[in-house]
Every structure is written in C-alpha cells, then in structure tokens.
Amino acid sequence: DHVLTESEFVRQNDLRYPFEERGLQFGDGIYEVIRVYGGSYYLIKEHVERFYRSAEAVKIDVPYTKKELYEQLDQLLELNKVKGDAKVYLQMTRGSAPRDHAFPSETKANLYAYVKDLPRSKNAMLDGVTAITHPDVRWDWCYIKSLNLLPNVMAKQAAKEEGCYEAVLHKDGEVTECSSSNVYLVRGGKVYTHPAKKNILHGCVRMRIEEFCKDENIDFIEEAFRVEDFQYADEVFITSSTSEVMPVLKVDQQVIGNGRPGQLTRTLQKCYERDAG
C-alpha cells in the first residue's frame, strides 16, 4: 500500500491531500492509467509520453524528468512487490493554492501514483459486452487526459443503469469514442475508427491496434462512422488499458453482426495477447 507522492513514497493511510487542491476544486490536472502484466508495465513509454503531452497542453510544469518518472514508477511496483496483473493510476494537478481560476503564480504540481491489483476480464473478452449510445457533451480537447471526467462519469452511469458495459459517445450522430475506451467498427474486413484528432483520446492500445492491423494486412481506416452505421457492422469492439480488446455484441437495440464476437476481433485479441505477454 505504498503511494508515490512528490517523489516520496508514503503509506496509503498516511496520504494527506492539501486544503485548496486545484485537482479537487477545478479538476485542474491530468492522469494516466497504465496496465501491468506479470509485474511489468505494458506500453509504459506511450503512457509517459502522453502524460507529458497532456501536461504541456494544459501548461503544467512536470517537476520531474521522464527518467525520474520512469524510475519512480518502477520503484512503485518494487515497493508494493507487484508480481501479477495490476493497474497504476498516475495523476498530476497544478498544485495547491488559494482558489482562483487563473494559474497561481507560485505553485508546484502535485503528483501521486498508486498500484492496484487488476485481474484481466477474461470472461468478458471471451463473451463480449453490450453498449448504449450517449451524446458526447465533452469539450474540444479530449486528446488531453484531463481530470475533468464528469461527462464521462455521467455517460458510464447511464450505461450501467441500462445493464451495459460502455457508452458509445457521438456528436450529432458521429461516433467519437466511448466514456473510457476507443471504439471501432468492422465492415468488409476493414477496421474503421475516428481519426486521432483533438476531440478523442489517442489511446495507447489504439496505437497498437493500428500496428496489429498493419501486421495482419487489415485496412485500418481513420474515418468517423455514424450511429446508424452500427446496423451494417460485421463486428464492433472497444479498446483501453483496462478493457484490452473487448467485443461489443449490441449497441442500444442493434445487434451487431451475428451477435457473437467476430473473427477479426479475435485476431486482434490474439495480437494483443502476444504483444502484452
């Protein structure tokens, strides 16, 4: 139960969050969720690079070099004696200062990171999941992995209330991504997904999916599709660091393809398995 804070490790119960924390008051911060398999990080470089990109985009000075951050993240796994499958949550806020929307003139970013066991969702990946559609009411800069997750939280809760796993977000019918994952439509052996523009998160697993498609000679087409297109889909799947490659069998009332996980999704699951293993 060691938590990393300000380049110092403390016990989880000794963690004290400062009064007037900008992460709490404004959601003024950024985060990453990094997967760990068998005690080792998966796609760590992609996550650390995105962490620094997010920080730069919101003008937070990360008070550590990338090398220092890598070392601290390794130490987090060591101290907690992580041997199995887990996830690391890493967060940085602009810091603590008297409440004012504008940046405080003198403040140091607050970092914290913890690790938690997370078994792989093997049954769900085998059987597939269902989803709802939900309007994407988020801002234009979703490529920044910011702490402002209220729209995502609302969408995921709406999915949960319908007994579904995810909410597919759309802007006027154009599908962007999901509340906490990227989404793909398969048709005629080709994979379609929203282009990595500023209005979606550039998923680390999404980057790998593009590579897997290249390796397998599958066309990876960065072209937005619409909610109506689900009726013509052969397969649909989502990806994220926690969901890996997850088949989606139904979106709202629309059954996808034959209602079972598709061949192409299975191929990409195998690619992931090899890559992460």
Binding site for ligand PDD (CB under 6 A): 33, 177, 180-182, 201, 203-206, 239-242
Q: Whose Cβ is closer to ligand PDD: residue 3's or residue 144's?
A: 144
Nearest CA to 2 out of 109, 113, 120, 123 is that of 113
For the question of residue 145 being annotated catalytic, the response is yes
Nearest residue relative to ligand PDD (C-beta) = 203
Shortest approach of ligand PDD to residue 241 CB, angstroms? 3
Shortest approach of ligand PDD to residue 149 CB, angstroms? 7
Q: Whose Cβ is closer to ligand PDD: residue 96's or residue 156's?
A: 156
Shortest approach of ligand PDD to residue 206 CB, angstroms? 6
Residue 261 sits at φ, ψ, to 5 deg, of: -55, 135
Number of H helices, E strands in the chain: 7, 15
Question: What number of other Cβ atoms are within 10 A of residue 178's Cβ?
Answer: 29
Q: Whose Cβ is closer to ligand PDD: residue 96's or residue 272's?
A: 272
Q: How far is CA 30 from CA 58, 60, 136, 180, 275, in A?
A: 9, 9, 20, 15, 27
DSSP 226: B
Q: Whose Cβ is closer to ligand PDD: residue 133's or residue 180's?
A: 180
Shortest approach of ligand PDD to residue 167 CB, angstroms? 10
Q: Three-state SS for 214? A: helix
Indicate which residue of 122, 145, 198, 250 is catalytic.
Answer: 145
Would you name the residues annotated as active-site residues? 145
